[in-house]
């Protein structure tokens, strides 16, 4: 009959064998699971529900898939990176990106959402969108020649900037969208020359009353075809409004809306007076302030509204002999000796006139 010592040894050997078997089986199961997971990774996925294995969260400081180079910023680095701390390129931090010979080709910042592509030639950040054409080694956030930049400022102005490199330096154009729903809006194209000096502009605006205006500050050349400009009396919906071309002149004395003026010997705009030929050659009409003593005057052909007028519709409007501000127009022709009869226009409505001054005048004997 075996001893108790023999029995204990056999039981311990059996337990050790079972422990080794279980450990081996556990490892084999894990290996099989890993192999199955690898096979799944190699299988094409058509829909997300075909992925059955949950490998859990993968947490690491940096994932590098580089065909060359040891670090993404190395001069020979080629591939992609995913970095929790971020990689620094041109003083800008990127957490996800691709590099070619150490030059960042695309990148994303997980903190501020900045995106970059095209080796720095395309940038999207809080300042807007910038597209640079044909510039190697562009730096995000830096305005480059031959580029297109879309900016949205805190002032509500959206700008589309085009930078063009020329023989004398860099010129650029700015297309702006300005305004709010309450005050209206404006679409403005500005052309700048080298150094940032405004060279010309075109603005199309609508105000809070749905009045649309267009302003062009540039020379117009080489126009082919017909230009049609329609002026509707109904468009003059407010007091002291006008349609027509204007000229900027220095005023000779204090003047007001609707004053007829002639050009005196010093080149200034002076109030007209039908007392004599010398003071009755009126060719412009005061319509608006401009800058200091320089005022805006309507040219012949303008249609002008003043609610204080009370014209007889269709009647002629003459220059008066008063010669004071607010009193240069009348529908009664002067009759005194040496008075000059100068027709300044025709009444279209009770408060709207066509300004069409005549330079052929009649002087009373």
**Tens-digit pLDDT profile for residues 279-315:** 999 999 999 999 999 999 999 999 999 999 999 999 9
d(CA 191, CA 137): 27
Strand-pair partners of 83? 62
Q: In which region does residue 56 sit, left (phi positive, over 0), alpha (psi from -120 to 50) or beta (all else)?
A: left
Q: What is the pLDDT of residues 110-141, one digit of tens each?
A: 888 888 887 777 777 777 777 665 443 333 33
Q: 328 or 148, which is more confident?
A: 328
Q: Which of 342, 288, 285, 349 is nearest to 314 (CA)?
A: 349
Locate the domains of the chain by residue range: 61-125, 153-217, 233-363
H/E stretch holding 362 reads strand 362-363
Cβ 212 vs Cβ 206: under 8 Å: yes
Mean pLDDT of the 336-355 span = 95
Cβ 274 vs Cβ 334: under 8 Å: yes
Count CB neighbours of 252 within 10 A.
17
Lowest mean pLDDT among 121-135, 149-163, 206-220, 324-338: 149-163
- Mean pLDDT, the chain, integer: 79
Return the pLDDT at 190.
74
Place of tokens 């002008």: 304
- What is the number of helices (H) and of strands (E) in the chain? 1, 26
């Amino acid at each position: 009959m075996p001893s108790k010592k023999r029995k204990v040894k056999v039981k311990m050997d059996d337990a050790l064998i079972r422990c080794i078997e279980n450990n081996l089986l556990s490892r084999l199961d894990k290996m099989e699971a890993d192999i199955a997971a690898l096979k799944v990774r190699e299988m094409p996925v058509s829909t997300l529900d075909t992925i059955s294995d949950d490998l859990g969260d993968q947490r690491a400081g940096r994932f590098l898939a580089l065909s060359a180079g040891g670090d993404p910023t190395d001069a020979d680095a080629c591939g992609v990176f995913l970095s929790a701390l971020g990689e620094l390129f041109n003083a800008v931090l990127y957490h996800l990106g691709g590099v070619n010979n150490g030059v960042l080709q695309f990148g994303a910042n997980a903190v501020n959402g900045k995106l970059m592509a095209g080796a720095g030639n395309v940038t999207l950040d809080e300042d807007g969108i910038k597209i640079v054409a044909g510039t190697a080694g562009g730096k995000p956030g830096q305005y480059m020649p031959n580029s297109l930049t879309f900016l949205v400022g805190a002032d509500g102005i959206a700008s589309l900037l085009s930078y063009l490199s020329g023989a004398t330096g860099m010129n650029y154009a700015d297309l702006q969208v300005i305004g709010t729903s309450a005050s209206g809006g404006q679409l403005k194209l500005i052309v700048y020359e080298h150094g940032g000096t405004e060279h010309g502009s075109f603005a199309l605006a609508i105000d809070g009353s749905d009045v649309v205006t267009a302003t062009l500050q540039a020379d117009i050349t080489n126009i082919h075809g017909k230009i049609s400009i329609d002026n509707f009396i109904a468009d003059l919906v407010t007091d002291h409004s006008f349609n027509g071309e204007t000229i900027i002149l220095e005023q000779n004395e204090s003047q007001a809306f609707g004053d007829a003026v002639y050009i005196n010997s010093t080149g200034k705009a002076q109030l007209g007076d039908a007392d004599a030929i010398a003071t009755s050659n009126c060719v412009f009409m005061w319509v608006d302030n401009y800058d200091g003593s320089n005022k805006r005057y309507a040219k012949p052909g303008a249609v002008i509204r003043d609610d204080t007028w009370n014209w007889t519709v269709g009647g002629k409007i003459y220059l008066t002999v008063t010669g004071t501000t607010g009193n240069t127009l009348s529908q009664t022709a002067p009759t005194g000796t040496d008075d000059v009869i100068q027709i300044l226009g025709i009444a279209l409505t009770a408060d709207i006139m066509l300004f069409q001054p005549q330079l052929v005048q009649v002087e009373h004997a």
